[in-house]
Structure 1
């Protein structure tokens, strides 16, 4: 068996911490994968993996071999791409913020796949923290400040935020003209996947950012539910303007305190420090950056 294929299998086992998952990723029989690693350890004369009934973990020698394999495989892929007109191919696993993807990326996706017909794209959706290496994900698109220093973050856009509420809510509670007039108002709490706590509302007052926490009768974890609850008159919300632009234009939502905007929210692509970018990941990152960098009212590069 080709040594590069063996390296690809070994690195996948380390990343997935599972023979079964790695074999599935590479479309190998599990029994073959097990035998290949046994032969590799015998040839090298060291134990590379510690096996338990639940997990597979690299030994110290295995971690050193893994780092060398990642470098070698990345160099080979780069070398072949540099001397070939062939376009990137293979499976690309990404995890995206669903609302952002549906608004900006999915409409342009047919063109991307037409340009790269040999790519297969698996799209996971969510706001939760993703262990890219453990879950076999190549990169993630996230909204908000970056928290994980174990990943490389590339900011691709800033989203303008808007505070808004439904006409029925404003009719009951009034339309505040200053931050002091928020007394007596309620918000819909959006639970952060990072902290498990409801995020405060942000307002810029005389050049200074102020966080204000209002009482909430409803808390949510979904962006779609967040907007729907606001349209039902359940409280104030703060969201990227693109997400509610149509509702604002139709009068289903009303902008509140527009003279006291929240700080714009960054959008970033993240990928592991330990992994050299493959050509298929590079073309995806370049494409996402281009799609999100179009200057406009709601999004800025």
Structure 2
């Protein structure tokens, strides 16, 4: 290989910049040219491609977001557009592509290589930690710690007013952020898409605690779920049971901010490994971390298999709040 390109796609996640730095310098140190594609697949299909040098990735490890920008590209779902993208890569003399993003972005990478033969390697870049084939995704640890910092401040008001707060974290289809945050902040309950929520049980528990004079963290963690407005609907139902809950939606603050040391190291390790796998002739794979070991998983498996939420985390949260 003489040249590779990289892009960041889908929702941004803290740690993408350390991954960009790692890929760029790992390739350059092996005599490979590196090109950055701006705004993900949207930039690829219009040829918004710039050669990267070592100086271009200096002092970016501490920055949130992605210097390459990101986008969700509906047009890339069209096989005709994917073939045009492959031709653009060839015109620039690019022999392989590394894609940093979530399952949707990795699905696009899989289709691109299957249909056009362009070698691709994927990295799991998403705060949701819902990608099969890796224990951790780039940005997950930072998102958890960002949410915790906010919740610790919300708790001060919850305790001062002896009031319940529903705190919504990201997770349309998975409760990985909610479960980790819920345990770490000592939440009364965690609401996740994977498990049914028992409102009656929660209200009974709160009433019992008050009758016994027991303390309460005052915090319920809610994963946003597939339908917008879940947290507000739960607040309304709690009001009908005599509670006066506050609602705080953390939203996109979970995506931003400086990546934690964990995410910086994870992204750096996976980025360098992606270059090595590509130069060794591998393609159509995602590089992840399982049991502290770097592993490669076929992108077809990433698309077809679902990462399961550890039920012990939810059980532990329920146990510890009593």
Q: Which TM-score tier does this pair reach, normalised by the shorter chain? A: 0.3 to 0.5
Q: Which has the larger radius of gyration?
A: 1
